[in-house]
Amino acid sequence: MAETEISLELLAALRSVADLLDFTWEDNPPIWMLGGSCGLLLHGVALGRKPRDIDLYADMGAAERLHEAMSAYAVDNPVEDRSNGCYSLLSHYRIGGMSVELVCGFRIYRGLSRYSVETVRLLRHAPLQVIPEIGMLRLMPLAHEFVFNILRGRADRYKAISSVMRMDMPRHLPPLQELIQHHQWGPSHMSVLEGQLDITRANA
């Protein structure tokens, strides 16, 4: 666990989310992952402050099922959002006093870089796991959080994430390699990526 402790309110909300979105009994369940500050906290990344909301990521094909499962807590309906060089289908919920955002089909464009969140592609790097006191969750891989925060220009985040990744690079390098190979990266972003993890374009 990271230095920033998880609050009881957040713990209860995550437990509710895990319960509402438990599709483990289905043969072809909709795939979703916990990301953002909550995901980082559970990955053991030190944060400067406690998470204030819960970010869930999914592909477009899962949006309807996930929204339906949380509809009793919805504060709006899914709507396309195109702002700040990003695109996604967004919907919001209020669960146990916490704000929850469902982000589907997320894409971000920064300079020459183009990145899309594809949970199906990330799936084998994000096994379903039992989180104590919460339940069954998939966490967005740290490789995603790393490149995403580089694109956002959040040096505080990507530096904290890279310090955790460097402690176990054999685990984190394969998903990072896939993200580099399957998306477009401008020289400035690639330079930050390589510098933070001390890798070269050749072995990534």
Q: Note whether residue 115 is domain-resident.
A: yes
Mean pLDDT, range 151-175, rounded to an integer: 94
Round to whole Å and give the CA distance between 79 and 37. Answer: 23
Reported as a pLDDT band with limits 50, 70 and 90, residue 199 is low
DSSP annotation of 161 reads H
Half-sphere exposure of 5 (CA within 13 A, CB side): 3
Of all helices (H) and strands (E), which one includes residue 35?
Answer: strand 32-35
Q: Note whether residue 14 is domain-resident.
A: yes
Domain residues for 146?
8-197
Domain count of the fold of the chain: 1
* CATH code at position 14: 3.30.460.40
Residue with tokens 């990744």: 165
Q: Note whether residue 204 is domain-resident.
A: no
Q: How far apart are the first and last CA of the chain?
A: 28
Predicted local confidence at residue 200, as pLDDT: 47
Q: pLDDT (tens digit, 9 = 90+) per residue, 48-61? A: 888 989 999 999 99
Task: With beta carbons less than 8 A apart as the criterion, state whether 23 and 8 touch.
Answer: no
* Beta strand pairing call for 113-116 and 98-110: antiparallel
Q: Note whether residue 119 is domain-resident.
A: yes
Q: Note whether residue 66 is domain-resident.
A: yes
Q: Note whether residue 202 is domain-resident.
A: no
Q: Note whether residue 203 is domain-resident.
A: no
Sort 48 into a burial class: Cβ within 10 Å, 0-12 / 13-18 / 19+: exposed
For the chain, count helices (H), then strands (E). Answer: 8, 8
Mean pLDDT, range 145-154, rounded to an integer: 96
Q: Note whether residue 2 is domain-resident.
A: no
What would you measure as the largest C-alpha separation in the chain, in angstroms? Answer: 49
